Structure 1
Amino acid sequence: MSSLLPILGNTKHPHEQFRSSQALEERLRATIRGEVRFDPGSRALYATDASNYRQVPIGLAVPRDIDDVIAIVAACRDFSAPILSRGGGTSLAGQCCNAAVVLDFSKYMRNILSLDPEKRLAVVEPGIVLDRVREAAEEHKLTFAPDPATHSRCTIGGMIGNNSCGTHALMGGKTVDNIHSLDVLLCDGTRLTVGATSDAEYEAILARGGRSAQIYSGMRQLRDRYANEIRRRFPKIPRRVSGYNLDELLPENGFHVARALVGSEGTLVTVLRATLDLKPSPQCRRLVVLGFPDSFISADAVPAILEYHPIGLEGVDQMLLDFMRRKNLAVDDVALLPEGHGFLLVEFGADSDAEVDAMARDFLADAPKLPASPKGVIYAGSEAQRVWHVRESGLGATVFVPGEPHGWEGWEDSAVPPEQLGSYLRRIFTLMKEYGYRSPMYGHFGQGCVHLRMNFDMESEAGIRNYTEFIDRAADLVLEHGGSLSGEHGDGQSRAALLPKMFGAEIMQAFREFKALWDPENRMNPGKVVDPIEVYGLAENLRLGAGYKSKSPETFFRFPEDHGSFGEATLRCVGVGACRKEGSGTMCPSYMATQEEKHSTRGRAHLLWELMEGHVLDPGWQNEAVHGALDLCLSCKACKTECPVSVDMATYKAEFLAHYYGEHPRRLQHYAFGFMDRWAHLTSLIPAFGPGAANIALRMPLLSHAMKTALGVAPQRNLPLFAPRNFQRSRKRLRTETTKQTVLLWPDTWNNYYHPQSLVAAEQVLTDAGFTVDIPSRHVCCGRPLYDFGFLRQAREYLLRTMHYLAPQIDAGMPFLFLEPSCASVFRDELMNFFPDNERARRLHDQSMLLSQFLARHAPDFQPAQRAGQKILLHGHCHHRSLMKMTDEVELLRRTGAEVELLDSGCCGMAGPFGFEKEKFAISQTLGERVLLPAARKASSQTLIVSDGFSCREQIAQNTDRRAIHFAEAISGRQSSQ
């Protein structure tokens, strides 16, 4: 230790004293091809992960290739700067935040370099997302076995750092069990390829001399000196993740150096490439779910169930399901579960349906022999996926639950032998009760690893004292049961200080020596796992901490679900990074296009939180870093439902912009697009400059070019043309005798002035269904475009006018029916955020619905126009998918007799004014080309393309030779030519 003092100084955590950031930044900019970001916004973005901890980094480097990584490490070495490698940033123990230079591999170094199905090996870069590896392997009926719930966004490099596990570790082991070799870089510049090491290979390394020989010789001596203690102190359980994997150096384990480095959390080396062992993937799977009286009894059943050799054995408890219902999270999926208050999800796999069906049936037949004689259900296909979705929603279900205090990690994933699980859970819940803590339980019951997210008080001295005392006693409980402090997410800061309890003084000394072999200057993620000075304590670097109080600035929105506080709302994000997925769903479209953290929902939420705190970012609504991050938000609202904690970035963006433009001048574009309803209405009223004259101007090249230039519209875009006559003016009131109710059909700006045939078709449908259709006699607008530019004062006035003008219809309980999903979403979402205590607003909210929703609820026998034998390609508008779901629309379209394909296309990329803006055109096109536009081009001429969003239809029309129609046209039989 004394040799480190001249380098590190005499403070407890000397790496935090680094001060040469400007010179280091200049060096990095001069030497790497990748990106270098030392600005406050980038530092704020990477200050936390998914844990309770926060440390502001020195800066960020985004390498493009291995040469960049070598140059970054060399620069950091020359400037004595600590280094932190980061993957998806979903770590739950604090290992992915530090006062260091952060290397983010996830943007560029994310490739599969080779995949050999014969040898069952894949060579990958550290930033590759796990699902991309699994998808490639599945083409050969292989898989990378570990699959944590974050599989859609966690990276292989991060999995190596944390020694990740997941559901199917029961089948194929932890990450450590699936690593063949690693290409690594040491802080001193040494580059090694490490793996299993035979005696002959070891002698050859020694013969070559140099740094490699020094390291290998030191590891052999360390192993021989501590071998007996390693065998004695390392628990023989499926989920021992704590500490360094010194057991992999033992002779019986092949002196496997690569596996010894797995789980070291970036404290030893930088991983440049990894060669992965792939395992056979059972192609046929069945899921059996058993319902028990409680989860303690279900835990008692685990040893017996393991005798049936399932490939997955997960558990969830009743509290988790109750929380999911209260949050309206996957409630339809929860309904699939059998009766019970504690559930085990038991998955079987085989290579044929007959074999796996027999396995599931035989197991279910024997289930009554288990404790409490549980009953079960067998699931396959999409139903099994829905049940797995319940399990994967676990973390999101435990935080920001209405009526519950916040839940925090801290005792997230301890593990015990499976045969001890029932005893351990009863004891830990007794201890929790003593402290007033409660938590759902869910996780990997088959391997004795259960996730708990408790209501720790992280904001007062007494609460933090109780937290640290509880953790200390909980650690004793785990060790009494022969377990491991960490069973999945690593030690990081949450458990590193507790490692002496688990391993004892000798092994801790072995850890320090192991660290010193690889990183003698303590530059690699210092203070985490083990440190020659001292690791961080449980209560250091807390994101909140004693005396924390969320900021509550004056806002336009009321934030009723966040205690009326914008600051509380920005605290919602727990960092699990579901917004960083890219293969399915809608959230987060701008991240899908850019692969940039600042353009993810998580990144924006963290920046807004940092803005409220004002420690790294300049406080106040005029911050340019925050404005830049929010600028590419498409306000798709997907995060409101796809985010497991319902971060509502569309609302946060509108609120921020309302204040930002209180001090900044607006562009002409804002007024043109934001108040589009007024311009459209005005055009329809002026005879000398009606729709026809306006369309001539829009078609004339010089005038069109001038308008697009003035409005900042991309030259590649065509400005939409007005209809010759709007729906309200051309409508002929239909006189029908009906015994059914009257409904109000909302003439939104887009369908009324641009696409009136949709409203004509909707009126025909409603009349055919026996309803009387009323429409407002004068111009009305929900004000949707105003939110995109932060015109919240005006947006609020639009809603007040609507509630005043249509008060008789609202108070009479008349249904308000919408064709444009974005307009419906104003009344389903923003309305109650402005007026949470207004009874008329509540009624309008409840009475507002899309046409498809209304028909499904109030005309269940309605028969749409028949299209037997035709194919319908359906694209869902973001707001429709996010707030109202597509179920009713799909069902009604299938009633036509057509074959309906609902595209998993995410955001179309147009998103109102977004896709027209010159600087956003490329992003818009990237999003359109993900799924929607190729599908539209590929569709046959006989295929009907249906999309309810005016913007979505414009994106298709402006990029293909096809024309999409509205759902109302599709079911009425009235449609314009495609």
Structure 2
Amino acid sequence: MKHASSLEQRLKSQLTGDVFFDAFNRGRYATDASFYQIMPAGVVVPRTIDEALRAVAIVKDDGRVVTPRGGGTSQCGQTVNDGVVIDFSRHLNQVVSLDVENRTCVVEPGIVLDDLNRQLRKHGLWFPVDVSTASRATIGGMAGNNSCGGRSLRYGTMRDNTLSMEAALADGTLLRFGEVPRDLSNLNAPDAGLKLFRDMLDLGEREAAEIADKFPKVQRRVGGYNIDALVPRNAPNNMAHLLVGSEGTLAFTTQVELRLWPVIRNKALGVCHFGSFYEAMDAAQHLVKLRPIAVELVDRTMIALGREIVMFQPIISAAVRGDPDAILVVEFAEEDQVDNLSRLEQLGELMADLGFGWDNRRRKWGGVVEIVEPALQAGIADFRAAGLNVMMSMKQEGKPVSFVEDCAVPLPHLADYTERLNAVFARHGTRGTMYAHASEGCLHVRPVLNLKLEKDVKAMRAIAEEAFEMVREYKGSHSGEHGDGLVRSEFHQAMFGARIVADFREVKQRFDPGNTLNPGKIVDPPRMDDRALFRYAPDYRVGELKTALDWSAYPGAGGGFQGAVEMCNNNGACRKIEGGVMCPSYRATRDEKDVTRGRANTLRLAISGQLGPDALASDEMMETLKLCVSCKACRHECPTGVDMAKMKIEVLAARAATHGVSLRDRLVGYLPRYLDLASRFARIANWRNNSALLRMLLEKFAGISARRSLPAFRRDTFVAGADVFGPADGREVVLFADTFNRGYERENLDAALEVLLAGGYRVHLPRPADRARPLCCGRTFLSAGLVDEARTELDRLVATLAPFTARGVPIIGLEPSCLLTLRDELLSLRSDEVAKNLSAHALLFEEFLVREAEAGRLSLPLGVVAGKAIVHGHCHQKSFGAFRPVEKVLRLVPDLNVETIESSCCGMAGAFGYGADTYQASLDMAELSLLPAIRRADPDALIVADGTSCRHQIMDGSGRTPLHVARVLAMSLNYAKSSSNPSMPAKE
């Protein structure tokens, strides 16, 4: 490794961006969304374009190859190689210029599509190559891949919308690739560039007849080099179109000039139902005659999987009738909504003419569900965009594999092609999943295979050969959207012929004679089934793992922990920077290390021995997980269900078993057991907050930031004067007094008790039989990896509450992280029926009240307390679908306008924000959206946050005092009382 060390030193000495040559960081860049894995020699994350070009020169001089990388979501292995990866996405992501009048812009290659469109939207413009990975796909990657998106029927592909590109050749020559006259007159370019352009135009002229004969006549052709852009034509040739789709093999892109379009203002969707998949595919050729902008397929498998995913259940319920074998989502988007509605009516008539309506004999309905509500349209778009990852959410060893992923055939042949393809799958003992772009004859087709098995690898090879032969028979393209990479480049000779492949090789040689730029793609590739290049290579092994939690829901060794880790398919949804919660640490740092995908990749490499012995409990693994705030957002928002918060507990348990527990983790973990003692000596226990010396000492020895004030202990902790309150005939509930509200903010429990009593409930405050200490959910112990101690606390809690849940009494909690432990981690520690019954009866305060109100059982005399409430949702509430009840309960308060902050994690996240090494990251997360929104809020507005840590972060960062919902309702009760009895003073 001396050679690599020398290269590393050169790069670090001449660049200010990150340079990584360690195994953990290289491993995070060894995969993309394909099934390949190639460990790079190093990774560079340049801060400027000049630094990126300098890195290319240094790496080339050292004899290594270079692979440019954006979001790393390529499905064919385009962004993996054994040289140095250069990551554009972290810093090289700016809009260089925008011309609103002429609808063009120039961007750096690392800008993410959604981020670009957010900036364009205020000008009424957008870039319409709307790939399903828009939340993380970079423009540079889309150009390299010639991406298409769901609406290419109207807007075309990336090639059609790229006006010019600036790029450097491997030798450092910087050129502008754009429209050129065939005689190259008046072209301002260096001699080397002019010679290159002349050679390319000559090649196009020489090969024009062969190109016309061999290139497929379908729009969705993104295979090979676009040498058809070089043939003589009436208009100037655009040299940028040769770079589009070249997968980083020809030049190193520095800027891209794009054509922009007016935003879509009106839409109407028709969801067409079909009793058979063949009928749906055959109908596509007729539906496109109505000139929709998209016709998207969703098959039976995807519908069934979507019905199992909480976030998609209401969408499918609203859009899908009965049990269709397939649906086609037809989208109209003309400027005038009247036109869209007219076409929707024509769609219904056309479906009826085709014979798809209500079948009285079979009692099956195959008509059109009309979707005009924007929110539901957006939900359907999200579901369709998540199609690939919904398919990948199967909890089994076999997964849908991308290799005949996006073959494109002319629409009249689509039904026959898909029927024959299913027969091929069946012949090889598998089945396929299909979805996506029926309007273009390009379906995302994935056979279910287990590529850890040699027999399934052989089946993959055979299926590829048979499928591509069929595509050629139909005069289609074996690369219809996702490019060539390592999967399809091998098959170019069969598709295009030997002469065209020789032309491709000539282009590569002319641009990059030293084969420096991303070799092995398009030209001179390895075999697509070379298992040495697979993520699960022949020697891939995961040894027996003794796990602390139950992972039996997942396949694989290690009690299922391996299967849980391997659920990550690198789709990169966790890299989105707006919307939802996932992934707050990545949003703050933009570092691959700090995103769910990066952590999952590191875990997979660690448990399979690829990062050395004892990697799971190593310091490097702790560094990898350090900024994971256990928000559980990935549990809810990751399309494949990666649960990093749960995995982190497992790793912390392994770390604790190997290296013991730090002083900070002991202070945090054992808080429930010493809180009452500290409360008795609250004045002494709180000295630290008022002493600079004690702050400094606690930071030095326990890692607790001196810049944070700790929650103050108080002598008057919440201690119920009795075990039960309220009328004997009232409906029974249990109020669970968690450690945080009991010890630090008893006002919340007092308020909740007041509200429940006002509602006429009989409230139990049970105490454990041993009376040794109050009940605890074990959350603090889990956060420190002390799983056995957490199990002890949960066993005490289950034993105490079991008699209540046995007779159906709800368990109500205030602190989301504590109460929801009973719905989540409890079942990973106990699988008995008593624990399951407790989990089923555990409700947050707002969930219970909303349930009662909707059942007509809640009557609270509430009064006006304020004009507006600004609400921040706790991450766990959002993960478990428990946040909407917060909004609903607050709307019970008269005249209260409820406004929700669109925010990710607050950044405090339990003890995370108190760490000396995580304090700044905590603030960075809060400053992304939460704290700015609080500062903008009306001074008279109520600030509402249910989470203890959320309230502390808001108070520290803004000076505002946030309230739990229970206190808002209690205030409302008291204002109502004071209004009816003016002599009674209102109290908070």
Instruction: State TM-score, norm by structure 2.
Output: 0.93
The correspondence for 1:182, drawn from 157, 165, 169, is 165
> Structure 1 residues 405 and 974 mapped into 2: Cα distance closer, same or farther (>3 Å)?
farther
The corresponding residue for 1:853 is: 847
Over the matched positions of the two proteins, sequence identity in percent amounts to 35
The correspondence for 2:229, drawn from 221, 239, 248, is 248
- DSSP 3-state at the match of 1:347: strand
Q: Is residue 476 of structure 1 aligned with residue 469 of structure 2?
A: yes
- DSSP 3-state at the match of 1:872: strand
Deviates more, 1:892-901 or 1:467-476: 892-901
Task: Determine if contact 1:85/1:266 at 8 Å carries over to the other structure.
Answer: yes
Task: Determine if contact 1:468/1:538 at 8 Å carries over to the other structure.
Answer: no
Given residue 306 of structure 1, which amino acid in structure 2 is its aligned partner? V
- DSSP 3-state at the match of 2:247: coil
Deviates more, 1:640-649 or 1:446-455: 446-455
Deviates more, 1:909-918 or 1:718-727: 718-727
The corresponding residue for 1:421 is: 414
Task: Determine if contact 1:751/1:950 at 8 Å carries over to the other structure.
Answer: yes
- DSSP 3-state at the match of 1:92: coil
The corresponding residue for 1:904 is: 902
Deviates more, 1:659-668 or 1:119-128: 659-668
Given residue 662 of structure 1, which amino acid in structure 2 is its aligned partner? A
Q: CA deviation at 1:617?
A: 4.3
- DSSP 3-state at the match of 2:237: coil
Task: Determine if contact 2:722/2:765 at 8 Å carries over to the other structure.
Answer: no
The corresponding residue for 2:822 is: 827
Q: Deviations over 1:743-794 (max 9, x none)?
A: 2111001111111121122222222333211112351111212222211221
Task: Determine if contact 2:766/2:800 at 8 Å carries over to the other structure.
Answer: no
Q: Is residue 601 of structure 1 aligned with residue 596 of structure 2?
A: yes
User: Where in structure 2 are the equivalents of 1:163-562 lying within 5 Å?
Assistant: 163-200=146-183, 202-204=184-186, 210-252=191-233, 254-328=236-310, 330-339=312-321, 340-373=324-357, 374-402=367-395, 405-531=398-524, 537=529, 539-546=531-538, 548-562=540-554
The whole-number CA distance in structure 2 between the counterparts of 1:704 and 1:620 is: 34
Q: CA deviation at 1:328?
A: 4.0
Instruction: State TM-score, norm by structure 1.
Output: 0.94
The whole-number CA distance in structure 1 between the counterparts of 2:859 and 2:696 is: 47
Deviates more, 1:519-528 or 1:703-712: 703-712
The whole-number CA distance in structure 2 between the counterparts of 1:653 and 1:787 is: 9
- DSSP 3-state at the match of 1:193: strand
- Count of aligned positions: 952
Q: Deviations over 1:319-338 (max 9, x none)?
A: 21101223445111111113
> Structure 1 residues 354 and 944 mapped into 2: Cα distance closer, same or farther (>3 Å)?
farther
Q: Deviations over 1:922-976 (max 9, x none)?
A: 1111111111111112111332221110000111111113111112222332699
> Structure 1 residues 899 and 32 mapped into 2: Cα distance closer, same or farther (>3 Å)?
same
The whole-number CA distance in structure 2 between the counterparts of 1:261 and 1:486 is: 16
- DSSP 3-state at the match of 2:928: coil
Task: Determine if contact 1:145/1:279 at 8 Å carries over to the other structure.
Answer: yes
Q: CA deviation at 1:654?
A: 1.4
The whole-number CA distance in structure 1 between the counterparts of 2:458 and 2:693 is: 71
- DSSP 3-state at the match of 1:528: coil
Q: Is residue 875 of structure 1 aligned with residue 872 of structure 2?
A: yes
The whole-number CA distance in structure 2 between the counterparts of 1:735 and 1:878 is: 33
Q: CA deviation at 1:616?
A: 4.1
Deviates more, 1:238-247 or 1:727-736: 727-736
Q: Deviations over 1:480-519 (max 9, x none)?
A: 2221111111111111111112111111111111111111
Q: CA deviation at 1:406?
A: 2.4
The whole-number CA distance in structure 2 between the counterparts of 1:709 and 1:146 is: 52
Task: Determine if contact 2:205/2:232 at 8 Å carries over to the other structure.
Answer: no
- DSSP 3-state at the match of 2:257: strand
The whole-number CA distance in structure 2 between the counterparts of 1:772 and 1:805 is: 18
Q: CA deviation at 1:739?
A: 4.5
The corresponding residue for 1:715 is: 706
User: Where in structure 2 are the equivalents of 1:685-696 lying within 5 Å?
Assistant: 686=680, 689=681, 691-695=682-686
- DSSP 3-state at the match of 1:677: helix
The whole-number CA distance in structure 2 between the counterparts of 1:524 and 1:696 is: 61
The whole-number CA distance in structure 1 between the counterparts of 2:107 and 2:355 is: 45
The whole-number CA distance in structure 2 between the counterparts of 1:58 and 1:204 is: 43
> Structure 1 residues 817 and 315 mapped into 2: Cα distance closer, same or farther (>3 Å)?
same
Q: CA deviation at 1:695?
A: 4.1
Task: Determine if contact 1:459/1:549 at 8 Å carries over to the other structure.
Answer: no
Task: Determine if contact 1:872/1:900 at 8 Å carries over to the other structure.
Answer: yes
The whole-number CA distance in structure 1 between the counterparts of 2:528 and 2:752 is: 64
The corresponding residue for 1:122 is: 105
> Structure 1 residues 977 and 441 mapped into 2: Cα distance closer, same or farther (>3 Å)?
farther
The corresponding residue for 1:750 is: 740
The corresponding residue for 2:921 is: 923
Given residue 183 of structure 1, which amino acid in structure 2 is its aligned partner? E
- DSSP 3-state at the match of 1:592: helix
The correspondence for 1:575, drawn from 548, 570, 575, is 570
Task: Determine if contact 2:457/2:529 at 8 Å carries over to the other structure.
Answer: no
Q: Deviations over 1:245-295 (max 9, x none)?
A: 111112236321111111111111111111111122222222222222233
The corresponding residue for 1:841 is: 835
The corresponding residue for 1:886 is: 883
> Structure 1 residues 868 and 300 mapped into 2: Cα distance closer, same or farther (>3 Å)?
farther
- DSSP 3-state at the match of 1:330: helix
> Structure 1 residues 625 and 798 mapped into 2: Cα distance closer, same or farther (>3 Å)?
same
The whole-number CA distance in structure 1 between the counterparts of 2:419 and 2:476 is: 15
The corresponding residue for 2:89 is: 106
Task: Determine if contact 1:298/1:371 at 8 Å carries over to the other structure.
Answer: no
Q: CA deviation at 1:708?
A: 5.0
Q: CA deviation at 1:356?
A: 3.5
Q: CA deviation at 1:419?
A: 2.7
The whole-number CA distance in structure 1 between the counterparts of 2:177 and 2:121 is: 27
Q: Deviations over 1:816-850 (max 9, x none)?
A: 111111002211111111223x2222112112121
Q: Is residue 945 of structure 1 aligned with residue 937 of structure 2?
A: no
The whole-number CA distance in structure 2 between the counterparts of 1:875 and 1:495 is: 48
> Structure 1 residues 387 and 507 mapped into 2: Cα distance closer, same or farther (>3 Å)?
same
Deviates more, 1:101-110 or 1:310-319: 310-319
Q: Is residue 780 of structure 1 aligned with residue 772 of structure 2?
A: no
Task: Determine if contact 1:58/1:100 at 8 Å carries over to the other structure.
Answer: yes
The whole-number CA distance in structure 1 between the counterparts of 2:210 and 2:722 is: 87
Given residue 495 of structure 2, which amino acid in structure 1 is its aligned partner? M
Structure 2 unaligned runs (5+)?
358-366, 975-985
The corresponding residue for 2:982 is: none
The whole-number CA distance in structure 2 between the counterparts of 1:309 and 1:706 is: 71
- DSSP 3-state at the match of 2:917: helix
> Structure 1 residues 486 and 551 mapped into 2: Cα distance closer, same or farther (>3 Å)?
farther
The corresponding residue for 1:91 is: 74
The correspondence for 1:794, drawn from 789, 793, 801, is 789
- DSSP 3-state at the match of 2:785: coil
Deviates more, 1:56-65 or 1:389-398: 389-398
Given residue 597 of structure 2, which amino acid in structure 1 is its aligned partner? R
Given residue 219 of structure 2, which amino acid in structure 1 is its aligned partner? P
Task: Determine if contact 2:433/2:448 at 8 Å carries over to the other structure.
Answer: no
Q: CA deviation at 1:157?
A: 0.8
The correspondence for 2:801, drawn from 803, 806, 816, is 806
The whole-number CA distance in structure 2 between the counterparts of 1:324 and 1:283 is: 28
Q: Deviations over 1:849-890 (max 9, x none)?
A: 212222333453224534487222211101111023322222
The corresponding residue for 2:980 is: none
- DSSP 3-state at the match of 2:333: strand
The corresponding residue for 1:14 is: none
The whole-number CA distance in structure 1 between the counterparts of 2:735 and 2:506 is: 74
Root-mean-square deviation over aligned CA pairs: 2.3
Task: Determine if contact 1:460/1:545 at 8 Å carries over to the other structure.
Answer: no
Q: CA deviation at 1:914?
A: 0.4
> Structure 1 residues 29 and 870 mapped into 2: Cα distance closer, same or farther (>3 Å)?
same
